[in-house]
Structure 1
Amino acid sequence: MIKGKLLEKSKEAFVMAIEIYNKPTIKYRVEGFSFFICNAWELMLKAYMIKKFGEKSIYYKDNPNRTITLENCIKKIFTNEKAPLRLNIEKIIDLRNTSTHFVTEEYEMVYIPLFQACLFNFIEKMQEFHNIDMTEVVPQNFLTLAVSMKSLNESEIRAKYPEEIVAKLIATNESLSSMVEENNHGFAIKIEHHHYITKDKHKATSFVHIDKDAKIGVKIIKELKDPNDTHKYTTKACIKEINKRLKREDIDIEVNKYHFTLFCKYYEIKENAKLCYVHKIHAQPTYSYSMQTTDFIFEEIKKDPENIIQNIKSKAKK
């Protein structure tokens, strides 16, 4: 059956994209990833079109021997032009189409947030459209792409490449950076590094010495963090994300607002600055949550999905 063959090839292309990107010996892994992830999306979406509209839907009407492009598949299935998921795929398609003319390793620093979001979007849609759990194909811990710690340096790339490539790379970086700020995690997964000072060495993953005059040491500074970046999830958004993960793991429980409130009270989430930010502008405070909140509640439910809600209720009454 053609739909089944398309899905098998789609899964293989998805795995190839991850393997190529995470293989340290491949220099131009960005181009390889963009090619295979686009191939995975195209095959998967065509299988969905066959399922929903019939086999003829994946062929051009005036040329029944030729299947339609990925761009056409996207327009037919994701009709909202401004949807972050659609914008994400379209930008990666642009990279696939132009990367043969602008092959630079620096593209990795620009596109990695989009690539990571693209993987998660694919997993979600594979589950939604075909009831296929991609974590059974690729273990969860292998779904995170290797991230370069180096940032884009304009002076370095100007010394390294012709002006045409430099201009293209800088323009792409500026365009995508503004889009990352305007869209949610469906478009890009932000890569952030946070540094904290602790006296307990056992909690540290790296060490520095403090010297205000040293070139190698570090200086203590105070940094204001925008809660719109660190704690950008409403109660509704948290519940939606938790239920999405539960469904993906085939855990038969649906969290509602009452359950979320139970978790917040029992685990004192609103008193934990890492999990919750309290907005005190109005007389009645409002709350927003970090991604760690959804991670935490999901992991707690996963431990004992059948009894966790009842257990929390019982313990809260004592």
Structure 2
Amino acid sequence: MTVQEQLIDKAKEAFLLAIEIYNKPSIKYRLEGFSFFICNAWELMLKAHMVNKFGEESIYFPDKPNRTISLERCVQKIFTNEKAPLRKNLEKIIELRNTSTHFITEEYEAVYVSLLQACVFNFVDKMMEFHNVDMTQVIPENFITLSVRLKSLDETEIRGKYEKQVAERLISVNDSLQPLMEENNSAFAIKVEHYHYATKKREEATEIYHIEKEAKDGVRVIKEIKNPNETHKYNAKACIKEINKRLKKNKIAMLYNGKEAELNMYHFQNFTAYFCLKENERMCFTYQISAQPQYSYSQQAIDFIYGEIEKAPSTILDNLKQKLTKK
């Protein structure tokens, strides 16, 4: 077995340990354990990639040939764009791992869970991209979603529970991460939304409230909220990337003019035109902020196009072109 193969095998094992620790209800220190093993998995996987790309000597210090470089250095060498959401995510997870070796409170989970989930998805994507390893063949896909058991962070509760230094540190970390979540895409954080519903079944409730008859201010119950930044978060380029990634993962080869092809912007526009996706609000949202409208697409649009390709990968691209030409 080569060094690269050994590193990949160990990376798989570390990833499994991270997921199992986080999703196991009997473990109290799951956040600390997860952060340690997910960082270990990334380090082993990236070093395997460096061995393949730059040679085995690239993972060692030049002046210390018996010592391998740190995860931080691996991240800097592979993901050279400092502003890339994936790199930012890894840097924050490494920071969490370093913090957890000294002190951590259970509320850190509420602060970091969105980043942890993104880190898991990023690892799965890069294992496929760098090593052609499908982690869903190693662990069932439904287990890759982390089991979240928490409520939103309450600053008043935190300040009452911990001494000032600890409370302010936790609140400061939370405040620093929130803007980053808004600025970056899903490679940095997968948002965990908290929804509140009115129910008469007390046993189903996680929080209790009551109606004050003499209250001066009124409220309105909103039964449904739709935010296109959440429901239609993909631009055309992102849709194309997601569809091609799924096709590659499932080993589905498309043909166009008799040759193997990937989905590109021309093909994507043919799909949106023929199936009238831009007129379907479930598939597409139109931003009328200028004379030239902008479009964003939902996960349903990605699933729909992938499904149509899956039915006839050898003919779908040519057929769409011919049908649109005849219109």
Query: Which amino acid in the other structure matches residue 257 of structure 1?
Result: M
Amino acid in the other structure paired with 1:274: R
- SS in structure 1 of the partner of residue 110 of structure 2: helix
Residue 41 of structure 2 corresponds to which residue in structure 1? 40
Question: What RMSD in Å do the two structures reach over aligned CA positions?
Answer: 3.0
Structure 1 counterpart of 2:233: 232
1:224 Cα offset (Å): 7.0
Give the distance between the partners of 1:228 and 1:139, measured in 2 at CA.
29
> Given that residues 275 and 293 in structure 1 are in contact (C-alpha distance below 8 angstroms), is that contact kept between their aligned partners in structure 2?
yes
Tell me the SS of whatever aligns to 1:71: helix
Cα deviations by residue, 1:206-236 (Å, 9 ceiling, x for unpaired): 99xxxx9589xx9533877553444332212
Show the counterpart of 1:50.
51
1:135 maps to 136
Moved more, 256-265 or 36-45: 256-265
Secondary structure (helix, strand or coil) at the match of 2:58 reads helix
Return the letter of the residue paired with 1:98.
T
Deviations along 1:90-145, one digit per CA (max 9) or x if unpaired, are 10000000113232111111111111111111111111211111111112222111
What residue number does 1:87 align with?
Answer: 88
Q: Which amino acid aligns with 1:72?
A: R
2:304 to 275, 296, 309: 296
Per-residue CA shift, 1:46-74, capped at 9, x if unaligned? 11111122212111122111111111111
Distance 1:102 1:291, change over 3 A: farther
Quick check: 292-301 or 222-231, which moved more? Answer: 222-231
Match of residue 179 from structure 2 = 178
Kindly provide the CA deviation profile for residues 138-180 of structure 1, in whole angstroms up to 9, marking residues without a partner as x: 1222211112351111122222222222111111111111111
Tell me whether 37-46 or 229-238 shows the greater mean CA deviation: 229-238
The amino acid of 1:243's aligned partner reads N
Letter of the structure 1 residue corresponding to residue 34 of structure 2 = F
Q: 1:194 to 1:238 in 2, by over 3 A?
A: farther
Cα distance in 2 between the residues matched to 1:129 and 1:26: 32
Q: Distance in 2 between matches of 1:264 and 1:63?
A: 56
Which blocks of at least 5 consecutive residues in structure 2 are unaligned?
199-203, 214-218, 255-261
How far off its partner does 1:283 sit? Answer: 4.0
TM-score, scaled relative to structure 2: 0.82
The equivalent of 2:278 in structure 1 is: 270
Name the structure 2 match of 1:192: 193
Residues 1:261 and 2:269 are matched in the alignment: yes
> Which range moves more in the overlay, 306-315 or 97-106?
306-315
Identity %: 62
Question: Could you say if the C-alpha distance between residues 220 and 158 of structure 1 is closer, same or farther in structure 2, counting changes exceeding 3 Å?
Answer: same
Does the 8 A contact of 2:60 with 2:67 survive in 1? yes
Structure 1 residues 56, 284: closer, same or farther in 2, change over 3 A?
A: closer
Query: Using the alignment, how far apart are the partners of 1:113 and 1:41 within structure 2?
Result: 18
Partners of 2:150 and 2:252 in 1: CA distance: 36
Shift of 1:307: 5.0
CA distance, structure 2, for counterparts of residue 94 and residue 55 of structure 1: 27
Instruction: Report if aligned partners of 2:152, 2:194 keep a CA contact under 8 Å in 1.
Output: no
- Give the TM-score taking structure 1 as reference length: 0.84
* Cα separation, 2, equivalents of 1:300 and 1:28: 45
Structure 1, unpaired ranges of 5+: 198-205
- C-alpha distance in 1 between matches for 2:128 and 2:265: 24
